[in-house]
Amino acid sequence: MISERRSKKGTVYYLTQIGDVAFCRWLLGVGITPRKSLTLGALAVPDLYIPECARGLMEGDGSILNFTHAPTKRTYPLYTYERLIVAFNSASVAHLRWLRARLEQHIGDLGWLVRRSPDETRHEFWSLRYGKTASLRLLPLMYRDDAVPRLERKWKIWQSYRARNGADGGT
């Protein structure tokens, strides 16, 4: 059952309750636990399916960022470049370290971990990010099969980038 809830700040979030005991045990067996954001660690995913797993994690709790950056507006007002970043977000640094190690085997890049400190209203929060070069290796792997389900909103960011920069994404 999926129900809509509101946070203290009024934003909408969704709560999923699963009543199938066998399915719940299977989820626990592959590493998906209650309060998964805080407790998630390594997942039992065969290496062959890591790109698809990464796509699911990014589409669920991550983002594809694509924007034009002007790093030195005062000195060089016309100097800009296009940025492309793939990010995975979690309250569990152990989970992101596992993902980082598994993705390194596929793209040869560790990315970088960013920490947001906890405060009285929220837990510590982490983001695993990949810059443009690594993202150009990661995104074609994550979206290598056009027939599989995907979150269109995030996929369209990648497709728009590819259309502007050539079939391989450019550099």
Q: According to the model, what pLDDT value does residue 158 have?
A: 96
Profile the chain (171 residues) by mean pLDDT over runs of 10 residues. 85 81 85 75 92 94 93 86 95 95 96 89 90 96 90 94 79 55
Q: According to the model, what pLDDT value does residue 146 have?
A: 82
- Residue spans of the domains in the chain: they are 41-165
pTM above 0.85, yes or no: no
Residues 41-165, CATH architecture: Roll (3.10)
Q: According to the model, what pLDDT value does residue 73 have?
A: 84
Q: According to the model, what pLDDT value does residue 117 have?
A: 86
Q: Which two tokens stand for residue 168?
A: 């391989």
Q: According to the model, what pLDDT value does residue 25 have?
A: 87
For residue 114, what are the CA distances in angstroms to 44, 85, 88, 126, 127? 25, 13, 10, 6, 5
- Tell me which DSSP letter residue 10 carries: S
Q: Which two tokens stand for residue 25?
A: 């045990």
